């Protein structure tokens, strides 16, 4: 689900000028008890469904790379965006980001680099 780039703000920085697109979805986290029951059926606890935004960046220069990495090199990001599922803007959603992995060849021209932020709270939290 494509979201409006202009609506995506992370830690007070509008991400529109750095990204080519942003996708919105949900991330499911399962408990350790997940597996097959004695009956053969799957069984397990869905610990939660968490909002997730995946961003694809344009070519960034070195200064812009520093800015972007500076955003994600933190434990928590506050993300404001328009939630197309709930059809409302979510402000300052507490998120964590995935590991930032950038190839050397991308330096100076970071095209195709993507990153995601995942809500620390379950979807229900934002209902």
Partner 1 sequence: MKNVEDIFKEDIRTYGRQLDYKIKVNDELVNTDDFNYIKPSFNANLFKTIMHAVKIDSKYKLNNKDKINIEAGLKVNELAYNYINYNSYYVHTCEREEDTSSYTILAYDKMIESMIDYDLDSYGKIKLRDYLIKICERLSWNTENIPAVFVNSEKLVDNFLHTGIGYTFRDALDEIATLSCSALLFINDGFYLKYPEETNQNIDESYLSEDSIHIGEKYFINSLVFARAEESDNIFRKDNDSIQKNGLSEYRIEDNQLLSTNDRDLYIDEMFNYLKTFEFYTFDVKTKGILFLEAYDKFNFVLDEKTYSTILLNDEISFEDGLTEDIYVDLPKETETDYKYSDETDKKINQAYILVDKQNRKIELLTSEINNSNEKISKFEQDINFISTKVENIADVTQEIAGIKKITIPDAVEGELLELHIDGNNTVFKHTYVSKQTLVSENTKLQGDSLIKVYTRNICPTKVTEWENGYFAGKTGEKWDSLEYIRNKEKIKIEPGKKVTFSLNNEEYLWSYVYLYDFANRYIGGIQATNNQEEITITIPEKASYINVMIKKNEAQQISPNEIIDIKPQIEYGERKTDFIQCNTQLIDLGIKNVLRQKEEIRDTYDLVGADAILTRRINKDNEILLEPEIEVLQRPSIFLVTGENFIEIKNYTANLSCKYAKQNEFTDIYATKVEMNSKIEQTAQQIRIEVNKKVDEEQMTSAISQTAKEINLEVSKKVGDDEIISKINQSAEEIQIDANKISLVGKEINLTGDNMIIKSNNFNVNKNGDATVNNINIKSGKIQLQDGTEQNANFEIISTKNNKKTIITPGSIYPSEGIFINKLNGTGQSAYLYMSESGNAGIQLNGNNSYIRMLTEDSDVSGNASIRCGGYMYAKDFLNISSEKIKKNIKKLDIEILDLIKNADIYSYNLKTETDLDKKHIGFVIGERYQTPKEVLDKNEEAVDLYSMCSILWKAVQELSEKIEKLEGKGE
What does the binding site for partner 1 look like in residue numbers (CB under 8 A)? 30-48
- CA dist., res. 81 & res. 101, Å (int): 24
- Partners of 79 in the beta sheet? 10, 93
Residue closer to partner 1, measured from CB, 36 or 88: 36
Residue 19 near residue 5 (C-beta atoms within 8 A)? yes
Residue 25 near residue 52 (C-beta atoms within 8 A)? yes
For residue 123, the minimal CB distance to partner 1 (Å) is 11
For residue 32, the minimal CB distance to partner 1 (Å) is 5
For residue 101, the minimal CB distance to partner 1 (Å) is 27
- Partners of 58 in the beta sheet? none
For residue 94, the minimal CB distance to partner 1 (Å) is 11
Tokens of 57: 């960046």
Residue closer to partner 1, measured from CB, 35 or 108: 35
Number of other residues whose CB lies within 10 A of the CB of residue 46: 11
Residue closer to partner 1, measured from CB, 2 or 127: 127
Residue closer to partner 1, measured from CB, 37 or 67: 37
Task: Please calculate the CA angle 50-52-56 and round it to the nearest 5 degrees.
Answer: 170
């Amino acid at each position: 689900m494509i979201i409006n780039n202009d609506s995506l703000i992370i830690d007070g920085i509008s991400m529109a000028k750095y990204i080519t697109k942003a996708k919105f979805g949900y991330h499911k986290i399962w408990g350790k008890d997940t597996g097959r029951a004695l009956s053969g059926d799957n069984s397990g606890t869905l610990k939660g469904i968490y909002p997730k935004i995946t961003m694809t960046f344009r070519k960034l220069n070195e200064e812009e790379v520093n800015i972007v990495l500076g955003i994600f090199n933190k434990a928590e990001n506050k993300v404001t965006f328009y939630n197309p599922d709930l059809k409302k803007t979510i402000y300052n959603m507490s998120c964590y980001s995935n590991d930032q992995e950038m190839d050397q060849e991308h330096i100076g021209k970071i095209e195709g680099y993507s990153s995601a932020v995942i809500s620390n709270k379950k979807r229900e939290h934002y209902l």
